[in-house]
Amino acid sequence: GRLEAVTQQMGYHPQYLDSFLKTQHYLMHMDGPLPFDCRHYIAIMAAARHQCRYLVNLHVLQFLRAGGDPEWLRGLEFIPPKLRNLNEINKILAHRPWLITKEHIEKLLKISEWSWSLAELVHAVVLLAHCHALASFVFGCGCEQDEGLGGRVSLSLGNQCFCEATAGNSCSQELLRINRKRSLDSCMELDSLRERMQRIHVETEGREEMRLLQQDREEGEGQRAEVAAEHHSDLSTGLSLLADPDGEVTGATNLACYMQDPDFGYQDFARRDEDQTQVFRVQDYSWEDHGFSLVNRLYSDIGHLLDEKFRMVDGLQSSAMAKRQGCEPSVFKRGIWNYIHCMFGIRYDDYDYAEVNQLLERMLKVYIKTVTCYPEKTNSEMFDRFWKQFKHSEKVHVNLLILEARMQAELLYALQAITQYMI
């Protein structure tokens, strides 16, 4: 047998893995406002937004084990209206979280036969954000491909969910050592890399390189955010290389029954046509000062677990990764984190966004944006083909940053809307 794929990848950073598993186990299997079968069905709805068969199939198994009604698995038309009403906020959180308003919250909480309580809604929101972000990790690390052509998740540890499989047990260090010997760990020599990075960071050469690769540039230029202004067309180019030839994801139609409005997807925050949505300033509403206390009050202890996970990924060692970029580890990680938040309209007044363009080379930005905003457009070559200068463990580290930054972004928007409703 082998470790389940997500655990296997996260196992390159055992301290983070332990924190992740504790959080996931608490969300899915410990006391909380939502029934156990509903938790797994919400996870199915969330994963389906990104056409992540891996997570959908995993939670279908768990849904049935929790005593869920098999009829619900026929699609949204067969579930209670209360759960179905969660579809709108699921859709918005997954793709354009800045559109969440207190009206969406009010609609779910209004007094009726199918109304949600505040505690239930907070539990559901955390589940949605958790599964959206985990879908990014699954695609970003190639776990979706491990599922195989049969469309089933390989669970070598019986029929356990991966958060149960290692609960209370440390991951096998021998298995982790074997995984670390993969050919993926090979990387370019440092001197050669430095020369390459210098060439990539030359503006004119970078543009010419991307022009040669480009096949389908997005129409129109529009307004760009400060960071996105220079790179949006490059990202579009990169996506044309990552998507399947027909622009669709194999097997995605199998998940159509779990979502409505499948064409609703990510849209660049900087290119929105209306000015109704303002930039989200962390100085006005932050996780540390606002989100943590709210979520912990309404869903006991989950705030502490989430906070530990956010801090854990920030504390992971990345000295080699940062040295290759010629900067301190904290500077490199903050550049990735703030770049991800910027794509969702979240800004830090004390940060110089020019650093993002200096720290992150173009193809790394293509990778980060794709895995963050439309992970379903990745393919099996993406993890290996791009930014080969990173070791496998370093690539996993970047994917963990994507997971946590994305999850925190979704939570900030949802919790701010809940706060506005409560006021």
Question: Of 143-152, 342-351, 407-416, where does mean pLDDT reach its minimum?
Answer: 143-152
| Residue 218: inside a domain | no
CA proximity to 274, closest of 421, 96, 418: 96
pTM of the predicted structure, to 2 decimals? 0.77
Q: Does residue 32 contact residue 299 with C-beta atoms inside 8 Å?
A: yes
pLDDT at 320 over 80: no
Confidence of residue 229 (pLDDT cuts 50, 70, 90): very low
Report whether pLDDT(274) > 90. no
Per annotation, catalytic residue among 38, 52, 161, 373: 52
Residue 290 in any domain: the answer is: yes
Tell me the pLDDT tens digit for each residue of 352-379: 999 898 888 888 888 999 999 999 998 7
List 280's β-bridge partners, or say none.
Answer: 346
Within a 13 Å sphere around the CA of 258, how many CA atoms are in the beta-carbon half?
26
Could you tell me if residue 309 is inside a domain?
yes
Q: How confident is the model at residue 270 (pLDDT cuts 50, 70, 90)?
A: low
Do residues 122 and 290 touch, judged by C-beta distance below 8 A? no
> pLDDT for 327-341, tens place per residue?
777 888 899 999 999
Tell me the two tokens of residue 211: 């022009």
219: in domain: no
List all residues 6 or more positions away from 177 whose beta carbon is below 8 Å from its beta carbon.
Answer: none
**412, part of any domain:** yes
Residue 32 has pLDDT above 80, yes or no: yes
| Candidate from 67-71, 81-85, 219-223, 291-295 with smallest mean pLDDT | 219-223
**Considering the domain boundaries, does residue 182 fall inside one?**
no
Is 236 within a domain?
no
Amino acid at 113: E
Where do we find the tokens 């793709």? 95
**pLDDT at position 386:** 65
Number of domains in the chain: 1
Name the pLDDT band for 118 (thresholds 50, 70, 90). Answer: very high
pLDDT of residue 314: 86
| Tens digit of each residue's pLDDT (9 = 90 or more) over 142-151 | 887 655 433 3
408 near 344, Cβ under 8 Å? no
Question: What pLDDT score does 389 carry?
Answer: 74
99: containing domain:
1-145+254-422
**Known catalytic residue: 52?**
yes
* CA 58 to chain CA centroid, nearest Å: 17
Q: Please report whether residue 238 resides in a domain.
A: no
